[in-house]
Structure 1
Amino acid sequence: MGRYTGPKGRINRRLGTAVFENAGATRALDRRDFPPGQHTRRKKVSTYGLALQEKQKIKYYYGLRQGQLRIYFDKARRTKGNTGEQLLILCERRLDNVIRRAGLCKTRPQARQGIAHAHFQVNGRTVKSPSFLCRPGDVITLRNRPGLVKLYKEIVEEVVGQPADWINSDPKGLTATVATLPSFEDVSLPVEVGQVVAFLSR
């Protein structure tokens, strides 16, 4: 199964977090901050269910498939340091996330679409893989096409939020430079990553 393309508002309500940032999905969570469904009475969620919810937050927030998340988890487990923190740092380094955190797109799905359509370059080379892991010193630019420049200048004007501290962003120039690797404190997703590690270690 590919990435999720269904109703985003339902996922935000189910997980109780704005994992999808588009206006309709965030509005759905603000209006009805309870899970979707006909019955208002909810059963107590098991430990397994809570861990599953935390894992789903990461999947939907970063637009990952189960196999991709497993690959990141295995890589994080082989890296020195806390496995959960390393997992989220790997997700933060994805090109689609960096473009979103730099303020060049309004949402991660929008950034992912732009990358797939060859709108962006890294160090002067066109990259079409949203999962490309950025490193310190990488310079992300928009391809020099008049139509793209006009489109993204309009997008940048509507972006909400400040760029991440570990990214030197120039929204007016439509460029961004990865200054350092992100730390766990830079992760913008509220998630109990310890439960995710326990879940994926089963």
Structure 2
Amino acid sequence: MGRYTGPKARINRRLGFQVYEDAGARKAFDRRPNPPGPPARRRKVSNYGLALIEKQKIKYYYGLREKQLRTLFDKARRMPGNTGENLMVLCERRLDNVVRRSGMTLTRPQARQGIAHRHFQVNGRTVKTPSILVRPGDIVTVRNRPNLKRMYEGVAGSDVTQRAEFLSFDQSGPRITVTAMPDFGDVSLPVDVGSVVAFLSR
């Protein structure tokens, strides 16, 4: 799956969760939270279907392609500990998610676009890859350009509801410091990781 450009509210309704956070998708979901399609055609979802929905939540929420998700899954499986929890922690460590969870952007697509356009630096080095996995001690800053600093300072701090505890945010920079390795308790997406692991292990 490439980058999804279709109706975001439709995905939210299909998955029963607001994986897309922009205002239009949230309002549409609040108006019509039921799945798309005629009610008469809706059938009981099988276990396979439920597991697929949980997997799709992760893909859309973190903006992952199928190959990216399976690459992270293979890495999580080789790590010690619970595979499902490891998978979610790897997703949380992605640079685009860190920028979003700091409150510097309002959505993950917005964070990914800014990174791809070279708006951010990690430890003083300009980056353009949203999938970079951060480590404790990493510092994420906006490039030293007045227009970029004004843009992100205007957004920073406007939404702190999802600010992660493993991040320290300095709005004056703006500057993000990764203070610790995230754990499963820091994951902001409610998902049945057990069913996702079973699905990806098929």
TM class by shorter chain equals: over 0.9
The answer as to whether partners of 1:103 and 1:171 remain within 8 angstroms in 2 is: no
In structure 1, what is the equivalent of residue 83 of structure 2?
83
Cα offset, 1:170, TM superposition: 1.3
In structure 1, what is the equivalent of residue 28 of structure 2?
28
TM-score, L = length of structure 2: 0.97
The 3-state SS of whatever aligns with 2:156 is helix
Q: Distance in 2 between matches of 1:40 and 1:155?
A: 43
How do residues 148-159 of structure 1 correspond to structure 2 at under 5 angstroms?
Answer: 148-156=148-156, 158-159=158-159
Paired letter, 1:138: D
Q: Distance in 1 between matches of 2:195 and 2:138?
A: 32
- Further displaced range: 96-105 or 146-155: 146-155
Cα offset, 1:41, TM superposition: 4.9
Percent sequence identity over matched residues?
Answer: 67
The 3-state SS of whatever aligns with 2:97 is helix
- Further displaced range: 98-107 or 25-34: 25-34
Q: Which runs of 5+ in 2 are unaligned?
A: none
The answer as to whether partners of 2:105 and 2:155 remain within 8 angstroms in 1 is: yes
Paired letter, 2:105: C
In structure 2, what is the equivalent of residue 110 of structure 1?
110
In structure 2, what is the equivalent of residue 186 of structure 1?
186
Cα offset, 1:198, TM superposition: 0.2
- Further displaced range: 145-154 or 64-73: 145-154
| Residues 33 and 40 of structure 1, relative CA distance in 2, 3 Å threshold | farther
Aligned residues: 202
The answer as to whether partners of 2:115 and 2:130 remain within 8 angstroms in 1 is: yes
Q: Distance in 2 between matches of 1:185 and 1:157?
A: 22
Q: Which runs of 5+ in 1 are unaligned?
A: none
How do residues 127-166 of structure 1 correspond to structure 2 at under 5 angstroms?
Answer: 127-156=127-156, 158-166=158-166
Cα offset, 1:40, TM superposition: 4.8
Paired letter, 1:152: Y
In structure 2, what is the equivalent of residue 18 of structure 1?
18
Cα offset, 1:31, TM superposition: 1.1
| Residues 184 and 98 of structure 1, relative CA distance in 2, 3 Å threshold | same
Deviations 1:16-73 (A, max 9, x none): 1111111111111111110012335520000000000000000000000000000000
Deviations 1:67-87 (A, max 9, x none): 000000000000000000000
The answer as to whether partners of 2:142 and 2:173 remain within 8 angstroms in 1 is: no
- Further displaced range: 43-52 or 25-34: 25-34
Q: Distance in 2 between matches of 1:158 and 1:25?
A: 18
Q: Distance in 1 between matches of 2:91 and 2:189?
A: 11
The answer as to whether partners of 2:88 and 2:187 remain within 8 angstroms in 1 is: yes
Paired letter, 2:3: R
Give the alignment's Cα RMSD to 1 decimal.
1.2
2:101 corresponds to 1:97: no
The answer as to whether partners of 2:102 and 2:160 remain within 8 angstroms in 1 is: no
The 3-state SS of whatever aligns with 2:39 is coil
Q: Distance in 2 between matches of 1:40 and 1:132?
A: 45
Q: Distance in 1 between matches of 2:18 and 2:40?
A: 21
Q: Distance in 2 between matches of 1:119 and 1:47?
A: 42
Paired letter, 1:17: F
2:85 corresponds to 1:62: no
Cα offset, 1:173, TM superposition: 2.3
The 3-state SS of whatever aligns with 2:168 is strand
Q: Distance in 1 between matches of 2:145 and 2:125?
A: 15
